Amino acid sequence: MQILDAAAALIGTKGYAKTSVDELISCAGLSGKSHFYHYFASKEQLGHEVITRQFDRVAERGLTILRDTVRPPMDRLYAFIDAIVELQLETPDGLSPFGTWATEMGDLDEGFRLRIAQVFRVWSDQLQDVIEQAQDELIPDVSSQRLARFIISTLEGATQMARMKRDVAIVRGVGLDLKRFVASHQKPLTIQ
């Protein structure tokens, strides 16, 4: 865990390609490369573990909300958006590096690209399932697949924009606008 924490911090700051095993060893407080290679066969394996850990962190909170069948589907959808926004803002520098890692690491290695694509597929499938459960509340032409992808793309795009502009408030604003957009796909309430 110590190595994974150090790797996440360094990769989040410098990027995967610019992070060396020697820096990881130093940052993690290890006494030598043998400690690193005891746990990881390569820097690539470490990269996969960092991606998996970040996804598990998101899944623990965000996907748990989507799978909570006690709550109505639309409530889960809005709570998921709120949870992801909050999760993005909980990191030390104010923004989760997952989107940045996905962009850089996916371009460097096919294995990373496939793992990251799997992460986004799981998120999309869970969102799509909740949207399908809410079909009775939505206008007829809503595509659950397109809306799920749009939600993920919007949240990831907000993080990228906030990182570039160094303004975490962007993530909160986009989260609010995203919920308004999703609400625009709901049928109007009828009073009987």
- The per-residue pLDDT string of the chain (192 residues; one tens digit each, 9 = 90 and over) reads 888 888 888 887 788 888 899 998 898 888 888 888 989 999 889 888 888 887 777 777 788 899 999 999 999 999 999 998 888 777 655 556 666 666 777 777 788 788 878 888 888 999 999 999 999 999 999 999 999 999 999 988 888 888 788 788 898 999 999 999 999 999 987 665
| Domain residue ranges of the chain, discontinuous segments joined by + | 42-183
pTM greater than 0.75: yes
Q: Which CATH class is domain 42-183?
A: mainly alpha
- 10 Å Cβ neighbour count for 164? 9
